[in-house]
Amino acid sequence: MARILVTGGAGFLGSHFCEHLLARGDEVVALDNFATSDGSNIEALRDNSRFTFVEADVVEELPVRGPLDVVAHLASPASPPEYLKLPLETLRVGSTGTERCLELCRRAGARFLLASTSEVYGDPQVHPQAEAYWGNVNPIGVRSVYDEAKRYAEALTMAYSRIGLVDVGIVRIFNTYGPRLRPGDGRVVSNFLVQALTGEPLTIYGTGLQTRSFCFVDDLVRGLCAMADVRGVTGPVNLGNPIEVTIEDLAGRVQRVTGSTSGVVRLPGPTDDPARRRPDITMARRLLEWEPLVDLDDGLRRSAEWFAGQLGRSGLVPMREKP
């Protein structure tokens, strides 16, 4: 049994990660300031005697006492519309927030797990993306508040590792979806599912020919656990599903899974929207013996069920009136 601090523990990935750690017998401290979440994701965990929640901003002092085996730094706005609304907070949580976590690890002798992102590859000119690729990021573009914060976080983490201060592991997470994505967070899977389930047309930005590779949350969390557990493996290691789809294809799948007949509407594409993204997961397979198992349609079906429940309905029959 380990004692693990999860920053961003009330968020989408953080809450699933906490739940998984508790289920295997670990003790979990979740820390969050609810910048892009509320308490709902962790409500069911609060009764567990091995779970503690601390409401705090990771950029400020970390009010966490007692021994720690691992600090997993997941705190950060992650959805593009959200980090674009919180530019300075996003830069700070990646920079100062990461440093605070690393310092805590140094004092506690804990392993540090950094939740980095496929966004460090920017709009990639190498495809698929392996960890050795340095990326193509616009350092002054709108998305840079997120991309560069994560790149700095990786640089800082590697510096602590090289000096020998902290045992670290970096994972670069590719697009992940599933139950507990916030219906209003603006990411493509949450938008499409809410639109399909409420009888709205699905909003395709740009040509719809841009690609992403979507990983179901349960798969991703297994990868996070594996990386938390293996002291000495620094990475970075890509975690994501290598099955690549266009956004148009994703819209079709969401329509089929939900039975939606509301069609699509075309809107202008966001600035600096990466054209293609697909992880090379050779490293994860080799070092973590990890690969995703959940098929995209299956994962979308499971997500749709959860979203339907959120919208106050039991089935997947599309609703005509708004929730």
**Residue appearing with tokens 């399909």:** 196
CA-to-CA separations, 67 to 51, 52, 70, 149, 307, in angstroms, rounded: 14, 14, 9, 28, 38
83, 121, 133, 146: the active-site residue: 146
SS3 for 21? helix
> Is 146 designated active site?
yes
- Between 249 and 273, whose beta carbon lies closer to ligand UDP? 273
- Between 30 and 196, whose beta carbon lies closer to ligand NAD? 30
- Of 280, 282, 288, nearest to 121 by C-alpha is 280
The beta strands (E) that lie in the chain are given as: 3-7, 27-32, 51-55, 70-73, 111-117, 168-173, 176-177, 202-205, 211-213, 215-216, 237-239, 244-246, 264-267
Which parts of 179-311 fold into alpha helices (H)?
Answer: 188-197, 217-229, 247-258, 282-288, 296-310
Structural Rg of the chain based on CA atoms: 19
Instruction: Tell whether residue 224 is a contact of ligand NAD (CB under 6 A).
Output: no
Q: Give the one residue of 7, 210, 241, 255 binding ligand UDP; rule: CB under 6 A.
A: 210
Instruction: Tell whether residue 212 is a contact of ligand UDP (CB under 6 A).
Output: yes
Q: What is the smallest separation between the CB atom of 53 and ligand UDP, expressed in angstroms?
A: 27
- Between 75 and 102, whose beta carbon lies closer to ligand UDP? 75
Instruction: Tell whether residue 255 is a contact of ligand UDP (CB under 6 A).
Output: no
Q: Which span (130-138, 200-208, 224-232, 237-245) binds ligand UDP, by CB under 6 A?
A: 200-208
Residues marked as catalytic: 146
Q: Which residues bind ligand NAD (CB under 6 A)?
A: 7-8, 10-14, 32-37, 57-59, 74-78, 93, 97, 115, 117, 173, 175-176
Q: Which residues bind ligand UDP (CB under 6 A)?
A: 80, 175, 187-188, 191, 203-206, 210, 212, 247, 269-270, 273
